[in-house]
Structure formats: structure tokens, C-alpha cells
Amino acid sequence: MIVEIDHLFNHAGNARLVAGWIYKEFWEGKGLYSLEALEALLRQADRADRIPLSLLALVDGRPAGTVNLIENDDHARPNLRPWLAALVVLPEHRRHGIGSGLVCRLIEEAKSLHLPEVFLGTDIPAFYSRLGAVHYEQAGESLCIMRIPLAGAARGS
């Protein structure tokens, strides 16, 4: 199994596919974003030197997962920026380190932009804790806001 993580803009023909993953995983039935709107947002991630960033994991040349760096993912917390958002790994590729690889690569990209930290919301904080994230705020019964301090971010498994 050969895993490659690259910017989505280098594989722009997959933007619609990736938008579909994100839509299905996070937005389907919620009426906030359409598939077309998500695809348009992904296409804004067209350079490696600014936010937004969108990364694509390829396994043996085939799309397998994604993660994104966006300005804000929580309008109730506009002071928290930027955010790791929409980590999706296809079910058949889970538990093979692809999600960790995507997050670690996103951390490296954020460091290259000289960002001091990255925030994220999750219901699986243990996964992100292994990768250097720390608890920031309990936002709901199952939603935890986490912060990744970039100066000391650990490389995960």
C-alpha cells in the first residue's frame, strides 16, 4: 500500500468527489451546505501558501481521505482561528494511519504558514490528543473543542 498526501488542487479533478465525502459525513440533511457549495469552497484552496488548504490522501493512486485548514469552523467562536476541518477517511482505509497522516501533514502545512495554533471540534478527542491536541473547551455533551499548539505539536502514529 502506497500512501501519498498532497494538496487537492494538484488533483483538482477529485474536488467533486471530496465534496461528496464531506457533504455525506457532515452536512447531508442539515440544509446548511449543498454539494455544489462545498465543491466551490474546496476549489478556493488553490495555493499552498494561504488558508484555505485542502489535502488529499491517495492510496495506491486512488483518493482515500481528506482534511482541510479553514479560517473558522464555528461562528460562535470567531476569535478561534484557524480550524482543522472535515477530516474524512473512507471506511475501507480507516485504522491504517491515513487519518493521522493527514492531520500530521496539515500540522506541517500550518507551521509553514507560521501559525501559532490550530483549533478543531470533535467527538473523538483521544484520536487528536495522540497527535498533540489539547482540550480547549467542552462545547456540548459530546463535542470537544481542541487546540493544537504548533510549536510543540507531536507527530502521531
Tens of pLDDT, residues 39-66: 999 999 999 999 999 999 999 999 999 9
Mean pLDDT of 125-148: 96
Side-chain half-sphere exposure of 37, counting CA atoms within 13 A: 7
CATH of domain 3-115: 3.40.630.30
- Residue 151: band (very low, low, confident or very high) from pLDDT cuts 50, 70, 90: confident
Angle at 80 between CA 77 and CA 81, to 5 degrees: 130
Q: Is the pLDDT reported for residue 26 higher than 60?
A: yes
1 touches 57 (CB < 8 A): no
How confident is the model at residue 157, as a pLDDT? 35
- pTM of the predicted model over 0.85: yes
120 touches 131 (CB < 8 A): no
Q: Rounded to whole angstroms, how far apart are CA atoms 74 and 87?
A: 16
Tens of pLDDT, residues 97-127: 999 999 999 999 999 999 999 999 999 999 9
Q: What is the DSSP string of 23-52?
A: IIIIITTTSS--HHHHHHHHHT---TTSS-
Buried (b) or exposed (e) across 105-123, using 16+ Cβ within 10 A?
A: bbbebbeeeebebbbbbbe
* CB count in 10 Å sphere of residue 2: 7
Q: Is the pLDDT reported for residue 154 higher than 50?
A: no
